[in-house]
Amino acid sequence: MPMIIGIDHGYYAIKTRNCSFPAGITAYAHQPYTDKNVLEFGGRFFVCGSGRQPIQRDKTQSENYYLLTLAALAKEITARSAPTECNITIAAGLPLTSFGRDKQAFIQYLRPSPQPVEFCFEGVPYKLTIDAVQLYPQGYAALLTEPDLLTDEPSLLLMDIGGWTVDLMRIDNGSPAADTCHSLELGMIRCVDDVREQVRRETGLSLTDAQIEQMLAGQPCSLGDNVKAIVKRQGRAYTERLLSAVMEAGFDLQAMPVVMLGGGASVVNRHLRPTDGLCRVVALLDDRLNAIGYERALAQLSRRAGNG
């Protein structure tokens, strides 16, 4: 049986069941001085997980996400102590708003011909045969990791806060209401960029993404209290803006529970206040939940096929 590996191809980060790393990639004409996070493919070298790449609404328009997929497969295989020559089925996802439109193109993108694919990652050679690619709706698949949420509430709002988009979907009696899907371009990249600009205006300092993310999450950082106060204020402003946009999209957050997930869930959850009057908030803070959900969905489908 091929090994099932779930991959969440985020704008901000690439996630698997055991790994999460930034979705940046840098090409080099020659081998870099270190093997760490270095992918060698087609006679070229790439450092994966460095910085942030430009936003691509269609991820199939460049080879970047395919290269990041190879890096993700290598990292996950290493984490599982699995063979570096094996057969794999990729379980991945797309937003429900574009699922039907982009599904076939993304499948072909993740499984190009010919197979197997050979590459080196961190100096280790890999020979992988991608047998198939199975796609699932982002966000909803993550709820497979928390099945009780689908049975305890007749209706809830799923809010997947990613790097570039916030995907919204109402769940009624455990099933997604497809006509309620919205995708807002209000992901964490917007929040981080706004924080950076405001800090620069008020202090003249230029912060890195890593510093901003650390402070937004309430973690220690060697910067002054004045900078931390700006970051906290901007985090709250982003949360207010997001809640307002969700309400404008037709979701009454005071009448319906909301399940937050994705890389931005911890930031938004931290900046909520009782005065927001939200009905109930369930924050799923592991940013790998989509990837884990994709794997579980495919495993369940495989079991049913085997029993049939």
236-267 pLDDT per residue, tens: 999 999 999 999 999 999 999 999 998 899 99
Domain with CATH 3.30.420.40 in the chain: 3-139+290-307, 147-283
Q: What is the 3-state secondary structure (H, E, C) of the chain?
A: CCEEEECEECCCEEECCCCEEECCEEEECCCCCCCCCEEEECCEEEEECCCCCCCCCCHHHCCHHHHHHHHHHHHHHHHCCCCCEEEEEEEEEECCCCHHHHHHHHHHHHCCCCCCEEEEECCEEEEEEEEEEEEEECCCHHHHHCCHHHHHCCEEEEEEECCCCEEEEEEECCEECHHHCEEECCCHHHHHHHHHHHHHHHHCCCCCHHHHHHHHCCCCCCCCHHHHHHHHHHHHHHHHHHHHHHHHCCCCCCCCCEEEECCCHHHHHHCCCHHHCCCCEEECCCCCHHHHHHHHHHHHHHHHHHHC
Quick one: pLDDT at residue 218?
Answer: 87
Q: How confident is the model at residue 137 (pLDDT cuts 50, 70, 90)?
A: confident
CATH 3.30.70.360 for the 147-283 domain, yes or no: no
Instruction: Indicate whether this model's pTM tops 0.75.
Output: yes
Average the pLDDT over 146-174 and give the result. Answer: 88
- Beta pairing class for 117-121 and 124-137: antiparallel
- Mean pLDDT for the stretch of residues 269-280: 94
Tell me what pLDDT residue 306 has.
65
Q: pLDDT band at residue 305, thresholds of 50, 70 and 90?
A: low
pLDDT band at 307 (very low <50, low <70, confident <90, very high): low
Question: What is the separation of C-alpha 308 from the centre of its chain, rounded to a whole number of angstroms?
Answer: 33
Cis amide leading into 32 (omega within 30): no
Q: What is the average pLDDT across 10-30?
A: 92
Query: Each residue of 29-56: pLDDT tens digit?
Result: 888 888 999 999 999 999 998 777 777 7
88 forms bridges with which residues in the sheet?
3, 130
Q: Does domain 3-139+290-307 have CATH number 3.30.420.40?
A: yes
Q: What percentage of the chain has pLDDT greater than the value 90?
A: 70
The whole-number pLDDT of residue 100 equals 80
Whether the CB-CB separation of 275 and 240 falls below 8 Å is answered with no
* Contact indicator for 272, 161 with CB cutoff of 8 Å: no
- ∠ CA 304-147-253 to the nearest 5 degrees? 135
Query: Identity (one letter) of the amino acid at 73?
Result: L
